[in-house]
Amino acid sequence: MGGMLDGKVALVTGAGSGIGRASALAFAREGARVVAADRDAEGGEATAAAIRAAGGEARFARCDVTREEDVAALVAEAVSRHGRLDCAHNNAGVTGAPGAVHQLARAAWDATLAVNLTGVFLCLKHEIAQMRRQGGGAIVNTSSGAGVRGVPGLCAYSASKHAILGLTKTAALENVGENVRVNAVCPGSVDTPMLQAYMDLAPAVEKAIRASQPGGRLGLPEEIAEAVVWLCSERASFVTGASLFVDGGALAR
């Protein structure tokens, strides 16, 4: 165990695969007790089992972040089991159905925003309430490079990721006097099952995604997780309301 988060309690949503799984593993490596949440029980259980196999402490909790009762129960369970909640990574998200603005069905729009935006709002609502009661904490929301630039064909995804940044900044300012820090990470194209499923739609899609990354290299989930853990640690004690780009230089061009 690295010890950067010794004795802390960390909650990760979307922990069943990809960036969420890497984040949960990194929190545990740094000494945190982890609650790995996902609506995919098989993936979430596998993440918790991997942490325990590495000598860490973790349990899986099923949660659909679009349901407030699920989110409230998740935070309450973490506190009931561990006494507090110090760190949270609100990572659950979906790419959603592709489609231009004039083509996308209302139901597809609603479904994407329900997970990507309302889900983050609900997590923040209950996490912040607990952290204010206990005297502090740190939260990281997963946005995207698509949160600062348009992505033709993914209007709902891009809109939701833009909105996360505004929500992050607002929550940070509202809680700066309560010792609760709120930041966001904006990953570039990262080699996850979600991205792979999107690239599989057509060879041209994968080609375009790889071309958007300097050098053509996709990021690794573990590289995003390192940024998340740092933002939740005391080493980032003066960082709040920030949007950290972890994208291999994709937005520097």
Q: What is the pTM of this model?
A: 0.93
pLDDT (0 to 100) of residue 201: 67
241 burial level (CB within 10 Å; 0-12, 13-18, 19+): middle
Q: How far is CA 196 from each of CA 5, 18, 185, 190, rounded to the nearest angstrom?
A: 32, 11, 20, 9
User: In sequence order, what are the residues at sequence separation of 6 or more whose Cβ sits closer than 8 angstroms to the Cβ of residue 29?
Assistant: 1, 2, 54, 56
pLDDT digits (tens, 9 = 90+) for 158-174: 999 999 999 999 999 99
pLDDT (0 to 100) of residue 133: 98
Residue 251 has pLDDT above 90, yes or no: no
Give the span between the Cα atoms of 156 and 161, in whole angstroms: 9
Domains of the chain by residue range: 9-248
Residue 218 has pLDDT above 90, yes or no: no
161: amino acid identity, one letter = K
Q: What percent of the chain has pLDDT over 70?
A: 96
What is the 3-state composition of the chain as percent helix, strand, coil, each rounded to the nearest 5?
55, 15, 30
Between 210 and 94, whose confidence is greater? 94
Residue 246 has pLDDT above 60, yes or no: yes
Is 157 marked active-site? yes
Q: What percent of the chain has pLDDT over 90?
A: 80
Task: Render the burial of 125-158: b for 16+ CB within 10 Å, e for the rest.
Answer: ebbbebbbeeeebbbbbbbbbbbbeebebbbbbb
> Span 9-248: which CATH code?
3.40.50.720
- Is residue 29 within 8 A of residue 105, CB to CB? The reply is no
Give the span between the Cα atoms of 29 and 56, in whole angstroms: 7
- Is residue 32 within 8 A of residue 87, CB to CB? The reply is yes
CA 219 centroid distance within chain? 15
Pick from 11-20, 41-50, 176-185, 201-210: least confident: 201-210
Residue 2 has pLDDT above 60, yes or no: no
Which sign, positive or negative, has the C-alpha torsion 141, 144, 149, 151? negative
Q: Tell me, what DSSP letter sits at residue 219?
A: B
Q: Tell me, what DSSP letter sits at residue 118?
A: I
- Is residue 91 within 8 A of residue 15, CB to CB? The reply is yes
Among the listed residues 109, 157, 230, 245, the single catalytic one is 157
